[in-house]
Amino acid sequence: MHEASIVSGLMAILLDQAAKHAVEHIRRVTVKVGRLRSVEPRALVGCFEMFAEGTVADGAELVVETVPIRGRCEDCGEEFEISGFVFRCSRCQGSRITVISGEELYIDNFET
Ligand SMILES: [Zn+2]
């Protein structure tokens, strides 16, 4: 399962950070997930609850913030949000698009 491997990776980072800062209990974790990751937030939350059991994050709330896909046109420099996976410039219709956001996957912060 896609989400399980993601949560397992995030959890390792989270527990490492918690240990470094001598945190005893985590109440809330906010993660940023780019839309290109095709992650289902509900599945992520479910996995998180499972992985958190018995750790300092047991019972913590997972907040998933979805980051939209943004691209930059290599022809005219326009930056725009890509919706519906149409990789075409909204200004000049150019198709040489560099993705500048949407691939995020990290812990933004956590509250204790
Ligand atoms: Zn353009």
Residues with CB under 5 A from ligand 1 (ion): 73, 75-76, 78, 89, 91-92, 94
Angle at which helices 2-20 and 41-52 cross, to 10°? 50
Q: Which residue has the tokens 């950070």?
A: 17
Domain regions of the chain by residue span: 2-68+101-111
* SS3 state of residue 20: helix
| 49-79: pLDDT as tens digits | 999 999 999 999 999 999 999 999 999 999 9
Question: Cα(91) to centroid of ligand 1, in Å?
Answer: 5
pLDDT at 1: 59
Kindly report the CATH class assigned to 2-68+101-111: alpha beta
Question: Cα(80) to centroid of ligand 1, in Å?
Answer: 10
pLDDT band at 85 (very low <50, low <70, confident <90, very high): confident
Q: Report percent pLDDT > 90 for the chain.
A: 92
Question: Cα(14) to centroid of ligand 1, in Å?
Answer: 40
